């Protein structure tokens, strides 16, 4: 909450009630009302902090890595940045002349050389390669070009060094979040075409069936067969949470 800039007054009030338990959202809202915390921004920061604190208190790992596209709301726990999105910042830059184009191409090349080395490091943690990657990244970030827009993008890259090179300390984490983006792409496309749903029930229905469809696909199950199985109450298709937990194994047909 301090990191998010919560003022000292509301912060002190919340710290005094660190052992309070709430049964539901309404009880939480009433508690904040009694403390006279009414500012929407303060409520959001406090609520997010309380939810995260609850997860941690119940065993949620603090070293869980979150890979994002640099959106501020994802800067929690152990934060890493997606290299694909990082390069998109440079892809959006439009060079004004041939010199700018050459300098931009050079930066692109350096980014993807570092990315390639990081992929290699994930497979084999070589201390010499780690040092070389850090040196290469620092050299890129010290670069000054004749293109002011490109220079500002490089400065931004330098500020994100810790998040971009987190994989050197945690080689188990991915270098990009494209898999997560792929999971929600269908939803985003539908939203662009038809906008939002007309009701909350419609939203829940859309999101639930989209989740079912993605889960079935990842488990090698026909979504149509899954729906027919449940509607006919045959229950021949295993319970999806059991598949995810590994309690059930689907055997290929003989």
With 70 as the cut, is the pLDDT of residue 16 above it?
A: yes
User: CB 141: neighbour CB atoms within 10 A?
Assistant: 16
> Mean pLDDT over residues 16-37, rounded?
84
pLDDT digits 0-9 by tens, 126-175: 999 999 999 999 999 999 999 999 999 999 999 999 999 999 999 988 88
Say what the pLDDT of residue 254 is: 35
46 touches 32 (CB < 8 A): yes
Of 49-58, 77-86, 105-114, 183-192, highest mean pLDDT = 105-114
Helix H or strand E encompassing 236: none
pLDDT score recorded for residue 106: 96
Alpha-carbon separation of residue 239 from 74, 83, 115, 171, 207 (angstroms): 31, 36, 39, 33, 19
Q: What is the average per-residue pLDDT within 97-125?
A: 95
What stretches of the chain show up as alpha helix (H) in DSSP? Answer: 8-16, 25-34, 40-57, 83-91, 98-123, 127-141, 148-159, 161-164, 178-194, 200-218, 223-231, 240-245
CB atoms within 10 A of CB 117: 17
* Residue 241: predicted pLDDT: 80
pTM attached to this predicted model: 0.65
CA distances from 119 to 133, 171, 199 (A): 11, 9, 45
User: Which of 109, 70, 90 minimizes the C-alpha distance to 147?
Assistant: 90
What is the distance between the alpha carbons of residues 97 and 53, in angstroms, rounded to a whole number? 52
| Residue-level pLDDT at 126 | 94
Sign of the CA dihedral with 187 first, then 190, 194, and 200 last: negative
Alpha-carbon dihedral angle through residues 83, 89, 92, 93, given to the nearest 10 degrees? -120
Percent of residues, the chain, with pLDDT higher than 70: 89
Domain ranges of the chain: 8-57, 79-168, 178-245
- Within 10 angstroms of residue 77's Cβ, the number of other Cβ atoms is 15
CA dist., res. 79 & res. 162, Å (int): 9
- Which residues lie below 8 Å from residue 141, measured CB to CB, with a gap of 6+? 154, 155, 157, 158, 161
- In the structure, what pLDDT confidence band is assigned to residue 52 with cuts at 50, 70 and 90? confident
pLDDT in the model for residue 183? 62
Rounded CA gap, 174 and 244, in Å?
20
């Amino acid at each position: 909450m301090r990191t998010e800039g919560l003022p000292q007054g509301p912060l002190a009030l919340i710290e005094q009630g660190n052992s309070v338990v709430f049964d539901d959202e309404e009880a939480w809202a009433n508690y904040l009302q009694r403390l006279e915390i009414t500012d929407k921004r303060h409520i959001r920061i406090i609520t997010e902090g309380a939810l995260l604190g609850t997860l941690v208190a119940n065993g949620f790992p603090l070293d869980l890595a979150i890979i994002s596209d640099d959106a501020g709301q994802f800067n929690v726990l152990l934060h890493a940045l997606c290299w694909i999105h990082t390069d998109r910042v440079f892809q959006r830059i439009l060079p004004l002349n041939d010199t700018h184009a050459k300098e931009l191409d050079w930066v692109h090349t350096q980014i993807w050389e570092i990315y390639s080395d990081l992929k290699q490091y994930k497979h084999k943690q070589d201390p010499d390669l780690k040092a070389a990657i850090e040196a290469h990244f620092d050299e890129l970030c010290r670069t000054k070009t004749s293109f002011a827009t490109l220079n500002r993008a490089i400065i931004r890259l330098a500020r994100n060094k810790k998040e971009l090179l987190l994989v050197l300390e945690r080689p188990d984490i991915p270098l990009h979040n494209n898999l997560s983006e792929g999971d929600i792409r269908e939803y985003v496309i539908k939203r662009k075409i038809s906008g939002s749903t007309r009701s909350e029930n419609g939203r829940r229905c859309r999101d639930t069936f989209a989740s079912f469809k993605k889960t079935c696909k990842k488990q090698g199950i026909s979504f149509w067969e899954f729906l027919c199985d449940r509607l006919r109450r045959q229950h021949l298709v295993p319970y999806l949470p059991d598949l995810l937990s590994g309690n059930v194994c689907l055997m290929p047909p003989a």
